[in-house]
Amino acid sequence: MAQVANGGFENWSGNVPDNWSTANIAPLNSFPITQSSDAHTGSFSVKGEVVVNPIFSTQVSAPYLQTVTGVPVSNDPTSITGSYQFSPIQSTANFVVGCTVIDVNGLPTGIGVLQIFDATSSYSTFSMPIDYTMGGDSPAASVTISFSIADTNALSSIGSWYLVDDVMVDGATGMNESSIQLSELGTPYPLPITDAVTIPMKLATAAQVNVTILDLLGRAVHTVHNNTLAPGNHRLNWTPEKSVANGIYFVRVSDHSGSTSKRLLLQR
**Do 108 and 15 belong to one domain?**
yes
CATH of the domain at 158: 2.60.120.890
Stretch 224-252: mean pLDDT: 91
Beta partners for residue 3, in sequence order: 168
Q: Which domain holds residue 43?
A: 2-170
Q: Is the pTM of this model over 0.85?
A: no
Strands annotated E in 53-157: 60-61, 65-67, 71-72, 79-87, 94-103, 108-116, 120-129, 140-150
Strand partners, 100: 111, 144
Q: Are 251 and 262 in contact (CB under 8 A)?
A: yes
18 residue type, one letter: D
87 and 186 share a domain? no
**Residue 178: is its pLDDT beyond 50?**
no
- Segment 31-75, tens digit of pLDDT: 999 999 999 999 999 999 999 988 888 889 999 999 998 999 878
Do both 64 and 29 map to the same domain?
A: yes
Structural domain contains residue 175: no
- Indicate the residue among 170, 200, 233 that finishes a domain: 170
Report yes or no on 106 lying in a domain: yes
Check: CB of residue 173 under 8 Å from CB of residue 188: no
Q: For residue 183, is pLDDT > 60? A: no
One domain for residues 248 and 136: no
Indicate whether 176 belongs to any domain.
Answer: no
Highest mean pLDDT among 83-97, 220-234, 244-258: 83-97
Residue 177 resides in a domain = no
Domain boundary among 135, 170, 205: 170
Question: Among candidates 192, 164, 213, 166, which has minimal Cα distance to 268?
Answer: 192
**In degrees, to the nearest 5, what angle opens at C-alpha 200 toward C-alphas 199 and 204?**
135
Model pLDDT for residues 85-104, shown as the tens digit of each residue: 999 999 999 999 999 999 88
| CATH number of the domain that residue 260 is part of | 2.60.40.1930
Domain count, the chain: 2
pLDDT at position 175, please?
54
Is the same domain home to 203 and 162?
A: no
Q: Are residues 119 and 205 in the same domain?
A: no
In a domain, 98, yes or no: yes
User: What is the DSSP pairing of strand 71-72 with strand 161-170?
Assistant: unpaired
Do both 15 and 128 map to the same domain? yes
Q: Are 87 and 108 in contact (CB under 8 A)?
A: no
Please check whether residue 66 lies inside any domain of the structure.
yes
